[in-house]
Amino acid sequence: MKAPKIGLVLSGGGIRGIAHLGVLKAFKDKNIKVNAIAGTSAGAIAGALVANGVDPYEALTVFNETRLIRHLRPAFGSPALLNLETAFTLLHTYIPHNSFEQLTTPLTVTATDFNHGKLVYFHQGELIRKVLASSCIPGVFSPILIDGVLYVDGGVLNNFPIEPLWSDCDFIIGSSCNHLPNITAVRNIKHALERAALLSLNNSMEQKCKKLDILIEPKGLGATSIFDVAKAEEIFWLAYEETLSKIPAIKEKTHFL
């Protein structure tokens, strides 16, 4: 029996995107082979590293030791707080060929064409700037210019890009790091704004989940701030354990395809 082609969708979510590395670590430990990855924002970064053969826990270690935030510089004279392009050198260290075509696992990343207000899927050519463009949260990071077009975070228009996998995969797994717990009160303005943003990002999840074969979504993770770097290790292992609980179902379902 031919092995099914497994696709993996990785959502955006800031530091919560570390969860995707925990998911991929569990897959590696339990011999679940992913044949194609589609990711947005933090999911694009995690996807690019692992698609190039970087061990998921090593990717976490790289983040913890280098503190990606050190590579972000104030974007003076631009309509944002930080310039994400300074992270290029860090990613280039782990993806020196800087090419979609040379990845060991096919990868598609989303970005938002800010000039024309439309969603773009990148899957070929130069890699790193497109991954960074997918991660440019508007107002936080300066847009990235590629071939004369300004790009920002793909999550603006599609935070869970399952679409590139529909036609080419037999079995699709989704990794979402934005599950929101119920609340009884709003703590402050920051809490209200963050929750509203996440509600917007999760708006289409119900419909998209109908197209998934398995969803991995650690409960309540959306309550963690997208910049809470101190929780990186905790997020990783939370997602790892959640994924282990899904492995029997994944193996059972893919066995009959």
Closest to 141 (Cα-Cα) out of 12, 4, 10: 12
CA geometry: angle at 152 spanning 150 and 157, to 5°?
A: 120
Residue 107's DSSP bridge partners are 37
The catalytic residue among 11, 41, 134, 175 is 41
142 catalytic? Reply is: no
> Which residue bears the tokens 């996807």?
47
Helices and strands in the chain, H and E counts: 8, 10
Q: Is residue 222 within 8 Å of residue 182, measured between CB atoms?
A: no
Residue by residue, DSSP assigns 87-147 as GHHHHHHH-TT-BGGG-SS-EEEEEEETTTTEEEEE-SSB-HHHHHHHT--BTTB--EEET
41 catalytic? Reply is: yes
φ, ψ dihedrals at 118, nearest 5°: -140, 160
The catalytic residue among 134, 135, 142, 153 is 153
Q: Which residues are catalytic?
A: 41, 153
